[in-house]
Amino acid sequence: MEVALPEARGRAVRQSIPRQSVIAVAALVIAIGLAVVMSRTEAILVPLWFLGMGAGFALQRSRFCFASAFRDLFLFGESRVMKGVLVGIGVTTLGFAIIMYNKVPFPAFGALPDEAHILPVGLSTVIGGLLFGFGMVLAGGCVSGSLYRMAEGYIGSWVSMGGILIGLGLISQTWNGWWNIFVSYEPKIWLPATLNLGYGGGVALTLVALLAAFLFVLWWESRSGMAVARVVEPEVPDSTFAEKVRAVWRRIFVHGWSAIAGGAVLGFINVLMYMTHMPWGVTGELTRWSNALMSSAGFAPPTLLGLSDVGGCAARAAESGLFTHTFAVTVGLLVGAWVGALFAGEFKPRFPRNARRYVQSLGGGIVMGYGSGLAIGCTIGAFFSSIPSLSISGWLFAVALAGGAFVGTKALRLLS
Amino acid sequence: METKTSSNIRVDVRGEICPYPMMIAEATMKRTKGNEMIEVLTDHAPALSTIPTQARKLGFAYKIEPSGSAEWRILLWREPKSS
């Protein structure tokens, strides 16, 4: 079934798009100004800021939602986003391997490459993943998804973010118990240092597993009778130079990207982030905010055990000052997604009319925030950046996410 | 938010969080047995690719038109059985 998409009709449509573009340009100018301000604190903040913006832009343009990647497998038998996620992880794996090889050329000696997201593997990974998977489906977006949807104007995502901050606060208050009972006994399993695999074996094993996962989701899709519909754009003249420029502009800034293109771009950005300093992650900065909020309210969390050497997003949560590396990446994501939504004319405040959705977003956010604290990262830090770090934790977290998302889809139907 | 006339079913899912626009559109298509025209109003851009995909699976034809700033109207109707 192919249907041409009619050109925008009516004055309201035609006028609103340029107005949003003007705001987008203004936002870009302010973002560049802020980069100049940040460069006075530390020069490295500038590339991190623009990479964060690039990530936010790519997330928005390809509607790259990790929650839907897992959820739609169960809800619709569809795997559009999951295929993009797998491609993105594959791209990141190749880049991370080169970076890690430069840091630790001989993995058998026992050193782990610094900053790589090689996280503890154990019950905390499983419980964290189950909670996170359930919460993200209930809230309609994971942590990064809620961030870019906040920038698109989804009020429900603002409520989710409030819940995520509460959940991260709850885990800070209870972390030491988890550490003493579970996390401190859990091993970090890094493939290159396991069974003499080395980098070649670790990368090969990861890529084969990704290929197997890709084939699995294709089979899963075929089983549900799914066939992806193509929306055909109308013929647009592109003979003159101006028309050609306009066509390229619309392809990047107005039309949604395919999830596979989005995944590849995000993978590439993630590699550049690690080259600059650290793999992509967002919960570290949010944990900082949550702890700062609790401290100012007189509920400062206790000194957290083990977080300095547990790695991942946790390591960064202790940084102080406003302009940190995680600030640049996380707030950059918001700005980049906002610019993307504005250029596409997709920015709009959206208030759910069903009161239940606010409760659902808040509750899902709290559960998800707690889970991300326990797993030391969200779908980005503990999954999208962890599997390419050749860490087993990323795979275990993914399986637990799928389990949580499956239960979440049951809850979604009950609440509809 | 569903209004029904003789041959038209109008579903307004504006403001809904993900994935309810898709879920509600899917449920409406499954309920519709005759040749009524389903009109889905949405401001959720991801629905523009997921609703047509569900439509195809359920044997519905579709048409998307912008209906305002960041708002779209998706028309869905059961395709005549081809021999």
Q: Would the pLDDT of A390 be above 90?
A: yes
Q: Report the distance separating Cα A372 and Cα A365, nearest Å.
A: 10
Give the rounded percent of residues in chain A with a pLDDT score beyond 70: 92
- The mean pLDDT of A172-201, rounded to a whole number, is 93
How confident is the model at residue A9, as a pLDDT? 42
How does pLDDT run across A30-71, given as a tens digit for each residue?
A: 999 999 999 999 999 999 999 999 999 999 999 999 999 999
Which of A9-23, A180-194, A249-263, A283-297 has the weakest average pLDDT? A9-23
DSSP alpha helices (H): ranges in B1-83? 20-31, 47-58
Top mean-pLDDT range of A8-17, A316-325, B21-30: B21-30
pLDDT value for A317 = 64
Distance (Å, rounded) from C-alpha A201 to C-alpha A414? 45
Other Cβ atoms within 10 Å of A102 Cβ, number: 10
| CA angle, B15 then B21 then B25, to 5° | 140
Average pLDDT over residues A237-264: 89
Q: Is the confidence at residue A7, as pLDDT, over 60? A: no
Calpha distance A394→A377 (Å, rounded): 10
- Phi and psi at residue A261, to the nearest 5°: -60, -45
pLDDT given at position A54 = 97
Q: Which residues partner with B76 through β-bridges?
A: B38, B62
Of A142, A75, A152, residue with least CA distance to A344:
A152
Peptide bond preceding A105: is omega within 30 degrees of 0, i.e. cis? no
Best B1, B13, B18, B26 member to test A by mutation, with max A CBs in 10 Å, is B18
Reported ipTM: 0.87
- Asked if the model's pLDDT at residue B13 lies above 80, the reply is yes
Q: Does residue A233 register a pLDDT over 90? A: no
Q: Where are the domains of chain A?
A: 16-225+248-415
Residue A234: pLDDT band by 50, 70, 90 thresholds? low
Q: Is the dihedral of CA A130, A131, A134, A139 positive or negative?
A: negative
User: Both tokens of residue A391?
Assistant: 């860490």
Helix, strand or coil for residue A232? strand
Give the one of A13, A80, A353 whose C-beta lies nearest to B15's C-beta.
Answer: A353
Confidence class of residue A400 from pLDDT cuts 50, 70 and 90? Answer: very high
Give the model's confidence band at A322: pLDDT under 50 very low, under 70 low, under 90 confident, else very high: confident
Tens-digit pLDDT profile for residues A120-152: 999 999 999 999 999 999 999 999 999 999 999
Closest-CA residue of B relative to A72 is B19
Please give the helix or strand (H or E) that residue A11 lies within, else none: helix A11-41
Cα(A24)–Cα(A400) distance, integer angstroms: 38
Nearest Cβ partner for B43 among A12, A65, A348: A348
Kindly list the structural domains of chain B, giving each domain's residue range(s) and its CATH number in brackets, ordered by start. Answer: 2-78 (3.30.110.40)
Contact by Cβ (8 Å): A56, A380: no
Write the DSSP symbol of residue A351.
-
Residues A372-376 have a mean pLDDT of 94
pLDDT at A320 over 60: yes
pLDDT above 60: residue A300: yes
In this complex, the residue of B15, B55, B61 whose CB is nearest that of residue A350 is B15
Please provide residue A237's backbone torsions phi and psi, each rounded to the nearest 5 degrees: -65, 135
Tell me how close the Cα of B31 comes to any Cα of chain A, in angstroms: 16
Q: How far apart are CA A284 and CA B39, in angstroms?
A: 43
pTM: 0.91
Mutual angle of helices A11-41 and A45-61, in 10-degree steps: 160
Q: Which residues of B touch A148 (CB under 8 A)?
A: none
